Amino acid sequence: MLGAQGCRGEGSGVGEPDWVRHAIWWHGYPLGMTGAYPADPAPGPHEHRLLRLLPWLDHAVRLGASGIALGPVFASTSHGYDTTDHFRVDPRLGDDQDFDTLVTEARQRGLRVLLDGVFNHVGPEFGHPGWLRPGHTFEGHGGLLTLDHANPEVRDHVTAVLAHWLDRGADAWRLDAAYATPPDFWADVLPRVRAHHPDAWFVAEVIHGDYADFTTKSTVDSVTQYELWKAVWSSLNDGNPHELAWALTRHDGFLDTFVPATFVGNHDVTRIAAKLTNPRHLPHALVVLFTTAGTPAVYAGDELGLRAVKEDRHGGDDAIRPEFPATPEDPFPGSDPAVLRLHQDLIGLRRRHPWLHTARTRITETTHEHLTYESTSGDDALVVTLNYGPGTVRAAGTEAVAGEPTDHLGPFGWRIARR
């Protein structure tokens, strides 16, 4: 099944491609970033907006990312998740040539490309109405019609779509709303794709449920670690290190089965800078992201300190999916250079310690004021101390590699040290 390349083996995760060990994604929502939606909701002539992302590729490199994770780029009616044609680039973004240019430019900068595949549901204008489950919509949204995943034609179609864009240069896929799709669907489709693309990586959007069981039954490489995302901001906002300690222990257990896809922000949630009650806790959230096991992603704009709130209403995602300036050098209202430097520093640390991808996490001390944990892999180890409050605490470890230089942490301080 894996072919002659031998690209899935020891040193990476549990059966995932070896290159993922070094993957750090810069995750963007192209329809919003390029001003295509909601400013121009209706598909029209080819606008070539996808090329507006090209100046931002160098920003991703300067950030320290090794790949760009793109939200939907395929033909759809509005926001990208109501797909009408999986084989066509959304005309608001451009055409096949624009896609090829983006992939080529990314490749020249050493960036891999992840695509967002929406295969649980489609839009009302999807060209195969006979492939739909009659009367079924996705979570009550009338404009999102559920595919019949038991239909062999649907399975063949998704297999062909995945392979087509991998052939055109993509490296990986996010499988949208995979939690709502039967695991046996993926277990049928993905091995067929891997037979020709053994180096491809597949991450499933799974919000709740048994992550390890879903991964095993579906054969995906990874799932989105919403448990840890929630625990990070909730623990910090509530001043409760015990909640994060519990979640990190759970997180460590997942490593027996798969390496989670980790994040503190994405296109579906309130930006982390707005989610945290105290802005002095932002470094703590990022430290957890970059010192624990996983394949981390930074949501475009979070590294600039942007603040936006997701609202439960029509258009409630618009604020967290803004249009970006033409270039990274242009003014971006609300950006904070200090937040960018912090991201760069922590991503640099992560890249210098690639073993963190599969590191095991052990909680060494938890109080009402601070949390200390060790991330280890063989003889490699880092010790992290997070001070949640306004007091002072003593940090563990020996030589500091990031954060406060001594073992005396001031209010809301943090430190990453050698063991």
Using only C-alpha atoms, the chain has a radius of gyration, in whole angstroms, of 21
Residues 6+ away with beta carbon under 8 Å from 282: 272, 273, 276, 305, 339, 342
* Mean pLDDT to the nearest integer, 21-27: 98
Whole-angstrom CA distances from 195 to 21, 118, 172, 188, 191 are 21, 22, 15, 12, 6
Residue 11 has pLDDT above 50, yes or no: no
Q: What is the pLDDT of residue 4?
A: 29
Reported confidence tier of residue 234, pLDDT bands at 50, 70, 90: very high
Q: What is the pLDDT of residue 142?
A: 86
DSSP state of 118: -
Q: What is the pLDDT of residue 210?
A: 97
Residue 10 has pLDDT above 90, yes or no: no
**pLDDT tens digits for 117-132?**
999 999 999 999 999 9
Of 184, 163, 27, 148, nearest in space to 86 by CA:
163
| 350, 296 contact by CB (below 8 A) | yes
Q: DSSP for 347-366? A: HHHHHH-GGGGG-EEEEEEE
In the three-class reduction of DSSP (H, G, I as helix; E, B as strand; rest coil), residue 374 is classed as strand
* Mean pLDDT to the nearest integer, 67-77: 97
Reported confidence tier of residue 79, pLDDT bands at 50, 70, 90: very high
| 388, 236 contact by CB (below 8 A) | yes
Reported confidence tier of residue 12, pLDDT bands at 50, 70, 90: very low
360-366/295-299 β-pairing: unpaired
Q: What is the pLDDT of residue 117?
A: 98
Residues 6+ away with beta carbon under 8 Å from 220: 175, 178, 186, 190, 202, 203, 204, 214, 258
Residues 6+ away with beta carbon under 8 Å from 142: none
Task: Tell me, rounded to whole angstroms, the distance of Cα 234 from its chain centroid.
Answer: 19
Residue 114 has pLDDT above 90, yes or no: yes
Residue 6 has pLDDT above 50, yes or no: no
**pLDDT tens digits for 347-389?**
999 999 999 999 999 999 999 999 999 999 999 999 999 999 9
Amino acid at 253: G
Assign a CATH topology to domain 18-358: TIM Barrel (3.20.20)
Tokens, residue 72: 């939907």
Between 7-16, 158-167, 315-324, the lowest mean confidence (pLDDT) is in 7-16
Reported confidence tier of residue 41, pLDDT bands at 50, 70, 90: low
Gap between the Cα atoms of 336 and 270, Å rounded = 17
Q: How many CB atoms lie within 10 A of CB 390?
A: 11
Reported confidence tier of residue 137, pLDDT bands at 50, 70, 90: very high
List the domain boundaries for the chain: 18-358
**pLDDT tens digits for 307-340?**
999 999 989 999 999 999 999 999 899 899 999 9
* Mean pLDDT to the nearest integer, 257-280: 98
Between 5-9, 71-75, 264-268, 330-334, the lowest mean confidence (pLDDT) is in 5-9
* Mean pLDDT to the nearest integer, 161-165: 98
In SS3 terms, 80-93 reads as CCCEEEEEEECCCC
Q: What is the mean pLDDT of the chain?
A: 95
Residue 2 has pLDDT above 60, yes or no: no
Task: List strands edge to edge, sheet with 141-147.
Answer: 121-122, 141-147, 132-138
| 190, 17 contact by CB (below 8 A) | no
